[in-house]
Amino acid sequence: MTITAPAPTIDPTAGPQTKGPLRRALGRFFENRAARAGLLIVVPILLAVSTYSLWWPFSPNAIDLRAINKGPSAIHWLGSDGVGRDVMARLLQGGRISLLVAVCSVAISIVIGFLVGAVASFGGRLVDGAVMRFVDLAMTLPPVIFLLVLASIAGTGIAPTILVISLLSWPVLSRMVRARLLELRERDFVVAARGMGAGLPHLLFRHGLPNCIDILVVYATLQIANAILLEAGLSFLGLGIAPPEASWGNMLNLARSTVVLEQYPWQWMFPGAVLVLTVLAINFIGDGLRDAFDPRSDLS
């Protein structure tokens, strides 16, 4: 005689299986139409600027004396500039440089901001007071003047521009991290870890960092757009990426000439359009991530 196990029964009154917080956040993000539109814009731009050397025949600094100030054509899709360089190649190379500067500067500012905010929150009252007064001092400096002074001291080039932008943008993040970790340090698992002799590095990277991931992701996304604009502004003023290296900012610098502005609009119109489109798309993604990681979204 064989005994068969009864078939499992499903309770019709039981609700759906609860999703984890990450899956709920991703679901809210992809429900955001603006965030999806931002992804549809940013992903092709990233693919184009990272792979253009494989499929585009011109290099950004190659000079063709027969194509000086030529408009868009079948050979030069976006035209050429005043010395015969292909605008399409310089546009894609400029996007690569601008995005490289933005990502590296944001990564540095995240490291500085997280460490400063975390040390202030876990270091005790005296450390917290001293560190936050230094942050207050950094935030009271006029950002435009501070940026120009740093840029004039550091000089032009990719590395100095990354350094200047990263030193400008970390104080706001340090305050957000500190606010989150001040609440975290009173929780039972952190108190128990400190009672068992856990040191500051353990508290920062074992408990502090995982609980600040949402802040860091949203901040990084929005700050990348801001860093692209800062790099473009510095390069436009001649304090960022210097020619002959291409960037969206120093390509826009050509528009300072009224001749180029009026007679050769393709030399500045396409870099300006791509710059605006990229920054707008990244801001859409950042807003979508901010709404997705908002804990109040679970209550709505």
Question: What confidence score (pLDDT) does residue 300 get?
Answer: 52
Cα–Cα distance measured from residue 107 to residue 173, given in angstroms and rounded to the nearest whole number:
12
pLDDT at 146 over 90: no
pLDDT band at 186 (very low <50, low <70, confident <90, very high): confident
| Run of H or E including 246 | none
Cα–Cα distance measured from residue 97 to residue 49, given in angstroms and rounded to the nearest whole number:
9
Task: Give rounded-to-5 percent helix, strand, coil for the chain.
Answer: 75, 0, 25
Identify the DSSP state of 204: I
Fold of 24-53+79-293: MetI-like fold (1.10.3720)
Task: Read off the tokens for 276.
Answer: 């605006």
Cα–Cα distance measured from residue 23 to residue 294, given in angstroms and rounded to the nearest whole number:
13
Task: Read off the tokens for 156.
Answer: 């032009």
Distance of CA 242 to the CA centre of its chain: 22
Q: Mind listing the pLDDT tens digit for each residue in 2-38?
A: 555 555 554 544 445 556 777 888 888 889 999 999 9
Cα–Cα distance measured from residue 165 to residue 29, given in angstroms and rounded to the nearest whole number:
28
Cα–Cα distance measured from residue 247 to residue 249, given in angstroms and rounded to the nearest whole number:
5
Distance of CA 218 to the CA centre of its chain: 9
pLDDT at 1 over 60: no
What SS3 state is found at 86? strand
CB atoms within 10 A of CB 48: 17
Q: Give me the chain's average pLDDT, please.
A: 85
Cα–Cα distance measured from residue 109 to residue 103, given in angstroms and rounded to the nearest whole number:
10
Question: What confidence score (pLDDT) does residue 174 get?
Answer: 93
Identify the DSSP state of 248: H
Q: Mind listing the pLDDT tens digit for each residue in 211-241?
A: 888 889 889 998 999 999 999 988 888 888 8
pLDDT at 199 over 80: no
What SS3 state is found at 278? helix
Question: What confidence score (pLDDT) does residue 204 get?
Answer: 82
Question: What confidence score (pLDDT) does residue 227 get?
Answer: 93
